[in-house]
Structure 1
Amino acid sequence: MTMTSPLDPRADLRPRGNDEETVSERVIDLITTMTAAVVRQDPPRVVSRRPGPHGAGPVDVPAVDEVLDRVRELWWQRLDPEDRLAVHVAALHRSPRPTPVSEVVAACRLAAACGRPVRLPEFTSMTLGSVKPGLRGTWSAEVGTRPYGIGHIGEYGSIRAANAAVWDTIETNRETLRDRMRAASPLLAGVAGRGWEEPQVSVWASAEQRDEDDAELVTMHQIAHRARVGVSLADRWRAEHAAFPAPETGTSLWYWPLVERWLADTGRLPADGPAADRPDLPRDSGY
């Protein structure tokens, strides 16, 4: 990027050596110059008037947020796409806090403007999840916000199993995005390697329900998944075999040790053991 304007950020920020203090002074000078430019162009709103020094006339106090917004916009306009990505990533690295996923998405979109597109999962499928009471004692696990994201991912027999499925699904989506970022750009790889903010997962359960939660209770969804078969086949086993364990009274839940024993006795337990309760993720509906 070649510019002759006195407000060229890269020209003003380009250090003439390794003197960090000199660079900082040049940044301050640049911000001062840009602030004066935006104020001359369109005077900002005045939020108050205070007396000047040594009895001088009143001094207008401008709206600082408005001035800063204009300076930021002017700075942004004078950067090409590569510089915008570099500035954005540098700002993320300077922050000691976990990186918001929204800022990760912004970095990916800036990279796309540089010719390095990244296919993004739905934003809410990486940030939101919930565990809610289902029918007949079950617990429903959901990720994202309908109609976006993944939505419903399964029915579980315990709060812990449903909660684990939600967190696992969100983390899988995040790892998918991290891999795509590492493949797209070294700058994005740096963002992918940072710690990201925790997702917001809500569990709609009372203290009593949490205390009484039994991880050995499973739904037909879980039985099928652990046996590595479809839900319709697992449900047919229940209907056609009298020895298949009965559900817990008044619920759609089964006691897993009894089901596991029946699967083993009838030769239906997978040779390498039951599958973990990790959900089968739907096809990635990125954008």
Structure 2
Amino acid sequence: MTTALRGAGIDEDQRVIALVTELTAEAVREVPAQIVSWRATDDGPVAVPALDEVLLRVRERWLQSLTAADRLAVHVAALERSPRPTPVSEAVTACRLAADCGHRVQLPEFTSLTCGSVKPGRRGTWSAEAGTRPYGIGRIGDYGSVRAANAAVWDTIETNREVLRDRMRAATPMLAGIAGRAWEEPQVSIWASAQQRDEDDPELMTMHQIAHRAGVSVTRAGRWRAEHAAFPPPEPGTSVWYWPLVQRWLADTGRLPADGPAADRPVLPRELGY
């Protein structure tokens, strides 16, 4: 049986006290809370459970007694009262609660909204990942500099978040309110030493980046290198190229896009329906 929220005024005090008392008794009977002390009574010592445990169970039982719409309203109200940035996990929970009310939101993979990494690759490259494998979208691509790989991770995560924000705004005003709040920052780890960061050169490009900027496949860009002796060589001992030289070659051979090199774009994730 579910109940709907009602405003608690002076006349409601006793009803609220009775409800909390009843829920507390049920919570303690259902799963005995952690014992922290004993209280003396006329009938002998009585165990006193940990308050936090009891309050958590009371809250859970109370939420279970509410209608789906009221569960969503309680969750959203709690987020709006908090001055801190909204955890992405709580935004996802709101989407799931909204689904129980008939407002379904297509969600990107959760970890592609929250974390990423930049790790050393082969021969001077840097590998960018968003999310965690096998979850999230995994590998984004190889980049010639730490900064480029880091930017790709952040852009990908932010794009995924904007996709989710737009869908939340379209679903229901309650979710639109959460979409408009600041969300917690992603956790992006960079596996680079201080020296590697100091020596980082954003003009260094992998074949992955060259192909993207030229608007062709990596395979086709690789054929340019194999079939044209004038194609600039990679930096000694690496698999990265100096972009100004490559850009000049693309322009001289008519392979540079008419509107200029493409900007690095993030990769969208697989999606789940809730």
> Normalising to structure 2: TM-score of the pair?
0.90
Verify: 1:35 aligned to 2:24, yes or no.
no
* Offset at residue 50 of structure 1 (A): 5.7
Instruction: Tell me, in whole angstroms, the C-alpha distance in 2 between the residues paired with 1:141 and 1:30.
Output: 56
- 2:121 equivalent in structure 1: 134
* Offset at residue 67 of structure 1 (A): 1.5
Q: Is the 8 A contact 1:31 1:71 kept in 2?
A: no
Verify: 1:233 aligned to 2:254, yes or no.
no
Instruction: Tell me, in whole angstroms, the C-alpha distance in 1 between the residues paired with 2:136 and 2:5.
Output: 40
Q: Is the 8 A contact 2:108 2:269 kept in 1?
A: no
Verify: 1:121 aligned to 2:116, yes or no.
no
Verify: 1:68 aligned to 2:37, yes or no.
no
Residue 107 of structure 1 is aligned with which of 71, 94, 117? Answer: 94
SS of 2:37's equivalent?
strand
- 2:38 equivalent in structure 1: 49
Q: Residue type of the partner of 2:139?
A: H
Gaps of 5+ in 2: none
Residue 10 of structure 1 is aligned with which of 5, 12, 31? Answer: 5
Verify: 1:257 aligned to 2:252, yes or no.
no
Q: Is the 8 A contact 1:38 1:67 kept in 2?
A: no
- 2:162 equivalent in structure 1: 175
- 1:157 equivalent in structure 2: 144
Count residues with an aligned counterpart: 267
Q: Residue type of the partner of 1:164?
A: A
Instruction: Tell me, in whole angstroms, the C-alpha distance in 2 between the residues paired with 1:213 and 1:78.
Output: 57
Identity %: 70
Verify: 1:274 aligned to 2:261, yes or no.
yes
Q: Residue type of the partner of 1:158?
A: S
Gaps of 5+ in 1: 16-21
SS of 2:117's equivalent?
strand
- 1:285 equivalent in structure 2: 271
- 1:84 equivalent in structure 2: 71
Q: Residue type of the partner of 2:118?
A: V
CA gap of 1:51–1:139, structure 2 versus 1, over 3 A, is: same
Instruction: Tell me, in whole angstroms, the C-alpha distance in 2 between the residues paired with 1:135 and 1:30.
Output: 67
SS of 2:102's equivalent?
coil
* Offset at residue 148 of structure 1 (A): 1.6
SS of 1:153's equivalent?
strand
Instruction: Tell me, in whole angstroms, the C-alpha distance in 2 between the residues paired with 1:59 and 1:146.
Output: 50
* Offset at residue 60 of structure 1 (A): 5.3
> Normalising to structure 1: TM-score of the pair?
0.86
Verify: 1:196 aligned to 2:191, yes or no.
no
Instruction: Tell me, in whole angstroms, the C-alpha distance in 2 between the residues paired with 1:176 and 1:151.
Output: 18
SS of 1:10's equivalent?
coil
Q: Larger RCO: Structure 1 or Structure 2 (Cα < 8 Å, ≥ 6 residues apart)?
A: 2
